[in-house]
Amino acid sequence: MGYIELMDISKSYNKQSNVLNGIDLNIEKGEFFVLVGPSGSGKSTLLRMIAGLEEISGGTLKINEKIVNHLPPKDRNLSMVFQNYALYPHLTVEQNILFGLNARKIDKQVQKKRLEETAKLMGLSDLLKRKPRELSGGQRQRVALARAVVSEAPLCLMDEPLSNLDAKLRANMRIEIRRLQKQLGLTMIYVTHDQVEAMTMGDRIMVLNDGVIQQVGEPITLYNKPSNLFVASFIGSPKMNLGKAVLTDDHLIIEEELKIPINSTQIETNIKNKNLIIGIRAENLPLGSNGEETYEIEVVNVEQLGNETLVSFEVGSELWTAKWLGQWLGKVGDKVPVHISIENIHFFDAHTGNLIQAASNTNKQEVVKI
């Protein structure tokens, strides 16, 4: 039993087809839970249903063991941070932060104390008399966060709060939000379409697509053992390399081009005689060396990222990417050896898209716990 329980939740408009189907989910108290998926997947709608801003078409929603399906937002003891900050332009930073407390007629001395503590926590003490137009994007976002923090609600909902910020500021704000959540012990539900945000911030992630849960789990589990092709291609940057494959007695043939030698102990029996799609991560395609099984590829693109290099090449009709540490100074048209090991390959059912066998090397990698 979680702090937030969603039981067979569905959502439809005008009694047409559902935009959310059979959502069953438990979120624990103090957890940083991320809803991630492409645009139109239903993640913001689900968040708004938890907030009470959207009506629940079917199912039961509980917060702290209390059914809240028909409770208005003000009675759900939560705060919300929106994508567009939702600041009042004619009010000062101080007035924006205290707006909710004023609406609830909280004692002025309590308001003052909370304001001082929150402003110090968010680095806004010197900006309290400014108007939103006098602030940068990052400062405005901190004001929106401060308004949520000052309410002292145990549950905080965030709907893509960083999407309007530049890359450097987004990285800083990710750290600030995560630190804030741990410091205050908040239960936080965070919506994003950015899988990097999801991977770096969440205790657990739920991947949503077309209103259906694809997978729920810890970030590293979703990365190492994606439950289906959608999760495999959505989680990870660059995305997992995929290709059609055929399994013979002693080889795995990928896109009718690459022949990877195998033995029977490396393959589960339920994989044989299936239409397959295989997947392999970019970091598992190292530059080949002597004594290894290598395959010559022709480079079609090189991206120098400073600390690493992304090299793209074609495998049949698919474009694959390899990630190599350091600065590889090759160029388009070069032919280079790449090492491909059966241990690094995920097997998916081509018909259902579901994972059949995860790469065996994910079970051998050392996980360091601090």
Instruction: Please tell me the predicted confidence (pLDDT) of residue 270.
Output: 67
Sheet holding 276-280, edge to edge: 258-261, 251-254, 241-247, 276-280, 346-349, 355-357
For residue 80, CA distances in Å to 104, 188, 307 come to 16, 10, 38
Inter-residue contact 313 to 300 (CB < 8 Å): yes
- Please say whether the beta carbons of 11 and 61 come within 8 A: no
pTM: 0.89
Query: Tell me: the pLDDT tens digits for 156-211?
Result: 999 998 887 788 888 888 888 898 899 889 999 999 999 899 999 999 999 999 99
Q: Do the domains at 4-224 and 238-361 have one common CATH topology?
A: no
CATH 3.30.9.10 corresponds to the domain 4-224: no
Domain 238-361 falls in which CATH fold? OB fold (Dihydrolipoamide Acetyltransferase, E2P) (2.40.50)
Give domain limits for the chain. 4-224, 238-361
pLDDT of residue 368: 47
pLDDT grade for 360, boundaries at 50, 70 and 90: confident
Strand partners, 27: 4
